[in-house]
């Protein structure tokens, strides 16, 4: 891994407070972290550890209450996400980030192909939706609506949707959380394949320890802080994982 | 944007039920505007065109008998453009095969040719040939009512002599578009006719050779109307002139104006109410539909769609629904307007009805509904996009539930789980519940207004024909007649009571306000034509002074105790000052009353009468008619039952038709509102309802929660709707009070019932639709996925 210098994301003292009903939640409390270009990082933590919040802030879906977060694109240009306007964040998400959500978040009125197309429509250099779906093994199900697909298939559509725009980074929030073991492995294989074949930086958050074994680095979060960072000597292929 | 647009189509299709319901709400508002405005434009446009093409005069004057030699002097009055003298006379007619008395007005035209002013539009036949003294052209409405054709005979009593006339043609005149007899409110085509005859023949019959008793004229551009009238009055004073008048006081024009003024109000007040209500509901409903798409919006935003792109997407969604509703509204409005216009053609005899939906009304209605929809959409889209997408995508934070005061007040056992869920749901979103209630209440109020119109018109007619006018027959004499004629009338067959009256045309002046009407001299305690106070009790005429209808006093801005100047337009044309001593409440007309002997004294005459009211044994009506026909001094015989039937038919056909349209529209709006409310509540609750079913609740129990909520909102909305309806009715009532009639503010139980029944019916229908939908709910999917 030649990721020594090329940081995609850097955060410093990242803090995020939420008001949920009548209580204030301290989701992040000063996170210092770097993600490197081309790596596959897995962020582990129990629910409430702040991993989703961190991912949302990295992806420009949310803004920190305090601290800094920077993104550096392939051209080496630095983007300060901390001070970005909503408009700039939108542009950032549009051109640089692909998302995969736990609950797929497909648009139910659109077919698999159209769900991908809705992203490629607004991208600069996308792959054809059909190619993206072929990549995740759904070449045969292009014209099915979400309601006609299984959970795993829906998640793979969501991945195709995320990779079709050829993003710099792929941010995945519990991508296997709603899936059974076999389907979950299939989804992880797709993510690993995308990382390997396209060099896209992939960050996966999960509470499943086993998934950490397929990563270049494991980042453990606890109570809104980085607890430990561990670099794997060898990435295990997802097919060898068991849970 | 291709895929986003495809989503638009799919969303529209998915929302078709709701979209249709919203379209109905929009259509309701738009339809009322288009209907009212188009009808108004059709009436006004057709009238103006006919006036212009047939040279309708601008000033009219009557006299007793003026010499033809006066004409050059009149023509020379500054400001006069064209002037034309003529002879007009009241006539009694008999149509073969029709037993009732028929009144007529004979108008002279130059021998064998068209008059210069007030030209006739011949619909059949020809003008009387020059030199013929038995040919007449008759008004088309009369000809139609009796199925007359050129060549048919007609019996007339002309100046006391029975004469046989023959129809040469059938025509329309701009002067008699509205053909009501002088003292009638409503046209009665079977019993009133206008006839045109050669001038020489008419002058001959009425001893008017070399003279005229009526003239009409047009004005030069920029001429001062008042100056011309003053000069005319001065010139005609010694020939028994009764005062020149402008179109404003010309009978046909005035009635038309009244009706058009009503239409104009209708075209303002009702569409304003309906359109603003539907715009408000549209705003709320669009907002809530977008709200249910919150997560989708957040996902699209996460992918990098700009706010503007998303706003455009939802604006298109709203725009498509609005456009559909608008097109529906315009189509229905134009269709209803063409129906209304042909109805009005029965009463206003326009030669052609020019029918066109005005462009400004199209633009205005589209603008209003688009604005309402887009602001509603924009607010909701803005709420959704202004938060970071991560936050929007997360299921909303558990709402702060509280026990409401209502829940605490009721015993727990009474409420049960379902009751508690309903109450807490409503308490959680008080603003939303409030808007739902407001929506239902508004449509309930609209229904109430529609129902109110039906009731109020009935009440008005009952008041007028049961309590004010209690005679069976109204006789009008050719000239003022000595009061001893009463004795003679009393002995006619079937007559049970006689009450004489004296009528004198007069202008009432108070400050700078002026109203042309007539003074009616009555017995001290009139029985056959009662004067009613505000409580509806018959009252005595005060010893001296004037009694006015409340509406007329309002027009003059006069209060009891004020002194009015009265210019009498008959006989010696005196000007006198009379105190206003009492007000009476009558729903129709603008009467001014005083004791008959006082009026006789003002006129400087003995006990004279202009006519009499009779109470008649219904079984001997025909006998009486025959006897009256033989009395040459009787100019007109009016049967009250016919007059009442005339006005009831008219109102049934026009006002009630309008009211019915509004009730239907209001009902549809109510349905649209409740349906959308229920569908949105359903979408918001789907997860909760599915959970309950999974936990073992039956479909009936779960339905109860949803239906209970609809029912509760509806029940709360009904009393509020009544209050809104009463407020709307008040507004309408004030706006619609005119010289012709004042609709009373009465609310029958039926009106409350129709309003409540309408929304309850709509709720019930919606309830059934929602329960059906609940049966199709895929519980597992709803629970598993966040869409």
Q: What is the mean pLDDT of residues B576-589?
A: 89
- Cα–Cα distance for residue pair B216/A93, rounded to 1 Å: 82
Supply the pLDDT for residue B564.
94
Supply the pLDDT for residue B541.
92
CA dihedral for B70, B71, B76, B80, sign (positive or negative): positive
Supply the pLDDT for residue B382.
83
* CATH class of segment(s) A7-240: alpha beta
Report chain A's mean pLDDT, rounded to a whole number: 89
- Cα–Cα distance for residue pair A212/B521, rounded to 1 Å: 108
Q: Are A207 and A43 in contact (CB under 8 A)?
A: no
User: Is the Cβ pair B397, A21 closer than 8 Å?
Assistant: yes
Q: Are B339 and B331 in contact (CB under 8 A)?
A: no
Q: Is B780 on the interface with A (CB under 8 A)?
A: no
> Which residues of chain B from 387 to 406 reach within 8 Å of chain A, CB to CB?
388-391, 393, 397-400
| pTM exceeds 0.80 | no
Cα B169 to chain centroid distance, Å, stands at: 34
Q: Which residues of A touch B3 (CB under 8 A)?
A: 110, 114, 117-118, 121
User: Is the Cβ pair B393, A101 closer than 8 Å?
Assistant: yes
**Mutation site, B14, B312, B785, B786, interface A, largest A CB count within 10 A:** B785
- Cα–Cα distance for residue pair B467/B459, rounded to 1 Å: 11
Supply the pLDDT for residue B293.
79
Residue B261 pLDDT > 50: yes
Tell me the CA distances in angstroms from B235 to B62, B70, B211, B242, one per residue in order.
12, 8, 14, 12
Residue B392 pLDDT > 70: no
Supply the pLDDT for residue B787.
36
Other beta carbons within 10 angstroms of residue A243's beta carbon come to 10
Q: Is B303 on the interface with A (CB under 8 A)?
A: yes
Q: Which residues of B touch A103 (CB under 8 A)?
A: 785-786
- Cα–Cα distance for residue pair B156/B104, rounded to 1 Å: 9
Residue A1 pLDDT > 50: no
Supply the pLDDT for residue B406.
64
Q: Which residue of B has its CA nearest to A118?
A: B3
User: Is the Cβ pair B7, A107 closer than 8 Å?
Assistant: yes
Q: Is B3 on the interface with A (CB under 8 A)?
A: yes
Q: What is the mean pLDDT of residues B665-690?
A: 80
- The tokens for B70 are 């006066």
Closest partner residue to B11 among A63, A104, A109, by Cβ? A109
Q: Which residues of B touch A95 (CB under 8 A)?
A: 304
Cα B703 to chain centroid distance, Å, stands at: 45
- The tokens for B509 are 């002046």
| Residue B780: band (very low, low, confident or very high) from pLDDT cuts 50, 70, 90 | low
User: Is the Cβ pair B7, A109 closer than 8 Å?
Assistant: yes
pLDDT tens profile A55-97: 989 998 888 999 999 999 888 899 999 998 878 888 888 889 9
Other beta carbons within 10 angstroms of residue B364's beta carbon come to 17
Q: What is the mean pLDDT of residues B147-163?
A: 86
Q: Is B4 on the interface with A (CB under 8 A)?
A: yes
| Residue B332: band (very low, low, confident or very high) from pLDDT cuts 50, 70, 90 | very high
Supply the pLDDT for residue A145.
87
Residue B471 pLDDT > 70: yes
Please give the residue that has the higher pLDDT: either A159 or B351: A159
Supply the pLDDT for residue B137.
96
Among B359-368, B682-691, B749-758, B773-782, where is mean pLDDT lowest? B773-782
Q: Which residue of A has its CA nearest to B399?
A: A21
Residue B1 pLDDT > 70: no
**B359-385 and B294-302 are packed helices; what angle lies between their axes, rounded to 10 degrees?**
70
Q: Which residue of B has its CA nearest to A120?
A: B3
Residue in this structure with the two tokens 């009935």, named with its chain if needed: B458
Q: What is the mean pLDDT of residues A111-139?
A: 89
Q: Which residue of A has its CA nearest to B398?
A: A21
- The tokens for A127 are 């792959």
Supply the pLDDT for residue B395.
53
pLDDT tens profile A7-18: 999 999 999 998
User: Is the Cβ pair B11, A121 closer than 8 Å?
Assistant: no
Q: Which residues of A touch B4 (CB under 8 A)?
A: 118, 121
Distance from CA of A151 to the nearest CA of B (A): 9
Highest mean pLDDT among B161-175, B332-346, B619-633, B739-753: B161-175
Supply the pLDDT for residue B591.
86
Residue B695 pLDDT > 80: no
Distance from CA of A234 to the nearest CA of B (A): 33
Q: What is the mean pLDDT of residues B389-399?
A: 58
Q: Percent of chain B beyond pLDDT 90? A: 33
Closest partner residue to A62 among B299, B390, B785, by Cβ? B390
Q: Is B2 on the interface with A (CB under 8 A)?
A: yes
Please give the residue that has the higher pLDDT: either B292 or B118: B118
Residue B423 pLDDT > 90: no
Please give the residue that has the higher pLDDT: either B627 or B698: B627
- The tokens for B6 are 């495809």
Residue B630 pLDDT > 60: yes
Alpha helices in chain A, H assignment, sequence order: 51-58, 86-96, 112-120, 129-135, 151-164, 181-198
Residue B109 pLDDT > 90: yes
Q: Which of A138, A199, A237, A175 is nearest to A43 (CA)?
A: A175
Q: Which residue of A has its CA nearest to B396?
A: A20
Please give the residue that has the higher pLDDT: either B288 or B245: B245
Q: Is B777 on the interface with A (CB under 8 A)?
A: no
Distance from CA of B4 to the nearest CA of A (A): 6
Distance from CA of A237 to the nearest CA of B (A): 29
User: Is the Cβ pair B786, A61 closer than 8 Å?
Assistant: no
Among A88-97, B390-399, B440-449, B510-519, where is mean pLDDT lowest? B390-399
pLDDT tens profile B523-562: 999 999 999 888 888 889 998 899 999 889 998 999 999 9
Residue B455 pLDDT > 60: yes
User: Is the Cβ pair A62, B397 closer than 8 Å?
Assistant: no
Q: Where are the domains of chain A?
A: 7-240
Q: How deeply is B115 buried, as exposed, middle or buried, from its count of CB atoms within 10 A (0-12, 13-18, 19+)?
A: buried
pLDDT tens profile B478-494: 788 898 889 999 999 99
Q: How many CB pairs under 8 A join A and B?
A: 92
pLDDT tens profile B427-439: 777 877 888 888 8
Supply the pLDDT for residue A7.
92
Q: Which of B641, B617, B644, B606 is nearest to B502 (CA)?
A: B606
User: Is the Cβ pair A103, B786 closer than 8 Å?
Assistant: yes
Q: Which residue of B has its CA nearest to A59?
A: B302
B61, β-bridge pairs: B215
Q: Which of A128, A182, A184 is nearest to A156 (CA)?
A: A184
Distance from CA of A53 to the nearest CA of B (A): 8
Q: Which residues of B touch A56 (CB under 8 A)?
A: 388, 390
Highest mean pLDDT among A20-24, A185-189, B21-25, B238-242: A185-189
Distance from CA of A39 to the nearest CA of B (A): 22
**Mutation site, A21, A48, A61, interface B, largest B CB count within 10 A:** A61
Please give the residue that has the higher pLDDT: either B659 or B231: B231
Alpha helices in B54-151, H assignment, sequence order: 71-75, 140-145
Model ipTM value: 0.75
- Cα–Cα distance for residue pair A188/A176, rounded to 1 Å: 8
Report chain B's mean pLDDT, rounded to a whole number: 85
pLDDT tens profile B130-141: 988 899 999 998
User: Is the Cβ pair A61, B393 closer than 8 Å?
Assistant: yes
Alpha helices in A50-150, H assignment, sequence order: 51-58, 86-96, 112-120, 129-135
| Residue B301: band (very low, low, confident or very high) from pLDDT cuts 50, 70, 90 | confident
Supply the pLDDT for residue A3.
42
Label residues B348-362 b or e (16+ Cβ within 10 Å = b).
bbbbebbbebeeebb
**Mutation site, A107, A115, A133, interface B, largest B CB count within 10 A:** A107
- Cα–Cα distance for residue pair B341/B40, rounded to 1 Å: 9
DSSP B355-416: ----HHHHHHHHHHHHHHHHHHHHHHHHHHHTS-HHHHHSPPPPP-----HHHHHS-HHHHH
Residue in this structure with the two tokens 């996966």, named with its chain if needed: A204
**Mutation site, A105, A129, A143, A145, interface B, largest B CB count within 10 A:** A105
**Mutation site, B293, B302, B307, B314, interface A, largest A CB count within 10 A:** B302
Q: What is the mean pLDDT of residues B211-216?
A: 94
pLDDT tens profile B39-50: 888 888 889 999
Q: Is B384 on the interface with A (CB under 8 A)?
A: no
Supply the pLDDT for residue B412.
60
Q: Which residue of A has its CA nearest to B8?
A: A109
- Cα–Cα distance for residue pair B659/B679, rounded to 1 Å: 30
Q: How deeply is B310 buried, as exposed, middle or buried, from its count of CB atoms within 10 A (0-12, 13-18, 19+)?
A: buried
């Amino acid at each position: 891994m030649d990721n020594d210098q090329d940081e995609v994301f850097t955060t410093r003292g990242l803090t995020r407070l939420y008001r949920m009903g009548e209580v204030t939640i301290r989701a992040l409390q000063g996170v210092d972290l770097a993600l490197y270009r081309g790596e596959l990082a897995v962020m582990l933590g129990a629910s409430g550890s702040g991993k989703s919040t961190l991912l949302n802030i990295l992806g420009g879906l949310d803004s920190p209450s305090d601290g800094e977060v920077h993104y550096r694109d392939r051209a080496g240009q630095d983007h300060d996400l901390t001070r970005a306007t909503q408009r700039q964040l939108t542009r950032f998400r549009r051109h640089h980030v692909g998302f995969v959500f736990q609950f797929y978040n497909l648009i139910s009125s659109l077919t698999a192909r159209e769900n991908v197309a809705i992203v490629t429509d607004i991208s600069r250099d996308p792959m054809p939706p059909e190619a993206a779906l072929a990549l995740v093994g759904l070449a045969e199900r292009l014209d099915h609506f979400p309601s006609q697909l299984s959970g795993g298939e829906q998640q793979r559509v969501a991945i195709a949707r995320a990779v079709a725009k050829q993003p710099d980074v792929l941010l995945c929030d519990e991508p296997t959380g709603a899936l059974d073991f076999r389907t979950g492995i299939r989804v992880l294989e797709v993510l690993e394949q995308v990382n390997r074949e396209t060099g896209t930086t992939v960050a996966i958050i999960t509470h499943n320890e086993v998934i950490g074994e397929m990563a270049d680095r494991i980042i453990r979060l606890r109570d809104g802080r980085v607890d430990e960072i561990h670099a794997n000597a060898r990435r295990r292929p997802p097919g060898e994982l068991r849970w | 944007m291709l895929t986003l647009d495809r989503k638009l189509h799919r969303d529209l299709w998915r929302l078709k039920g709701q979209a249709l319901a919203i379209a109905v709400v929009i259509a309701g508002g738009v339809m009322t505007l288009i209907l009212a405005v188009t009808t108004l434009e059709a009436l006004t446009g057709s009238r103006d065109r006919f006036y212009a093409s047939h040279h309708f005069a601008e000033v009219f004057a009557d006299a007793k008998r003026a010499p033809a030699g006066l004409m050059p002097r009149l023509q020379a009055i500054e400001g006069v453009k064209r002037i034309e003298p003529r002879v007009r006379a009241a006539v009694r007619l008999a149509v073969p095969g029709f037993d009732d008395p028929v009144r007529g007005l004979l108008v002279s035209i130059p021998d064998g040719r068209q008059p210069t002013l007030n030209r006739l539009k011949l619909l059949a036949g020809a003008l009387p040939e020059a030199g013929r003294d038995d040919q007449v052209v008759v008004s088309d409405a009369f000809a139609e009512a009796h199925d007359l054709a050129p060549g048919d005979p007609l019996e007339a009593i002309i100046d006391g002599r029975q004469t046989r006339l023959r129809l040469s043609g059938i025509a329309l005149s701009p002067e008699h578009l509205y053909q009501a007899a002088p003292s009638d409110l409503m046209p009665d085509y079977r019993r009133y006719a206008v006839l045109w005859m050669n001038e020489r023949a008419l002058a001959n019959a009425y001893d008017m050779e070399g003279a005229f008793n009526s003239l009409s004229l047009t004005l030069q551009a920029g001429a001062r109307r008042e100056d011309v009238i003053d000069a005319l009055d001065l010139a005609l004073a010694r020939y028994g002139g009764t005062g020149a008048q402008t179109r404003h006081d010309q009978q046909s024009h005035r009635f038309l104006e009244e009706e058009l003024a009503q239409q104009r109000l209708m075209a303002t007040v009702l569409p304003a109410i309906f359109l603003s209500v539907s715009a408000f509901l549209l705003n709320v409903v669009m907002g809530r539909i977008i709200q249910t798409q919150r997560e989708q919006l957040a996902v699209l935003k996460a992918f990098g769609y700009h706010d503007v792109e998303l706003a455009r997407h939802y604006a298109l969604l709203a725009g498509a629904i609005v456009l559909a509703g608008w097109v529906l509204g315009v189509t229905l409005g134009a269709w209803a307007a063409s129906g209304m216009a042909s109805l009005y053609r029965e009463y206003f005899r326009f030669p052609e009805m020019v029918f066109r939906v005005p462009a400004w009304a199209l633009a205005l209605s589209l603008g209003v509904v688009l604005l309402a929809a887009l602001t509603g959409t924009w607010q909701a889209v803005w709420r959704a996009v202004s938060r970071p997408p991560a936050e929007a995508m997360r299921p909303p934070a558990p709402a702060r539930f509280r026990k409401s005061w209502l829940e605490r007040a009721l015993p727990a056992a009474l409420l049960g789980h379902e009751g508690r869920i309903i109450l807490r749901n409503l308490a959680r979103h008080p603003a939303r519940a409030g808007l739902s209630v407001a929506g239902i209440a508004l449509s309930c109020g609209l229904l109430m207004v529609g129902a109110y119109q039906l009731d109020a018109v009935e009440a008005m007619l009952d008041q007028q024909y049961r309590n004010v006018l209690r005679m069976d027959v109204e006789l009008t004499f050719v000239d003022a007649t000595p009061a001893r004629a009463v004795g003679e009338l009393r002995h006619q067959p079937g007559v049970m009571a006689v009450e004489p009256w004296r009528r004198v045309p007069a202008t009432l002046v108070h400050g700078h306000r002026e109203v042309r009407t007539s003074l009616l001299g009555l017995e001290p305690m009139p029985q056959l034509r009662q004067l009613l106070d505000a409580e509806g009790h018959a009252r005595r005429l005060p010893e001296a002074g004037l009694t006015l209808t409340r509406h007329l006093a309002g027009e003059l801005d006069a209060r009891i105790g004020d002194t009015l100047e009265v210019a009498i337009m008959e006989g010696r044309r005196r000007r006198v000052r009379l105190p206003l001593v009492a007000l009476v409440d009558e729903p129709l007309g603008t009467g001014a009353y005083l004791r008959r002997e006082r009026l006789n004294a003002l006129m400087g005459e003995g006990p004279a009468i202009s006519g009499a009211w009779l109470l008649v044994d219904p079984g001997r009506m025909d006998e009486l008619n025959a006897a009256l026909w033989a009395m040459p001094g009787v100019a007109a015989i009016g049967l009250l039952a016919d007059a009442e039937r005339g006005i009831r038919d008219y109102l049934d056909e026009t006002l009630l038709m309008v009211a019915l349209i509004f009730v239907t529209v209001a009902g549809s709006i109510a349905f649209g509102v409740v349906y959308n409310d229920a569908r949105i509540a359903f979408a918001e609750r789907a997860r909760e309802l599915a959970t309950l079913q999974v936990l073992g609740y039956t479909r009936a129990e779960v339905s109860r929660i949803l239906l209970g909520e609809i029912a509760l909102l509806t029940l709360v909305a009904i009393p509020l709707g009544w209050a809104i309806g009463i407020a709307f009715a008040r507004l309408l009532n004030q706006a619609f009070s005119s010289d012709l009639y004042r609709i009373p503010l009465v609310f029958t139980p039926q009106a409350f019932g129709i309003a409540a029944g309408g929304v309850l019916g709509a709720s019930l229908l919606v309830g059934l639709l929602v329960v059906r939908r609940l049966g199709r709910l895929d519980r597992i999917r709803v629970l598993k996925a966040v869409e």
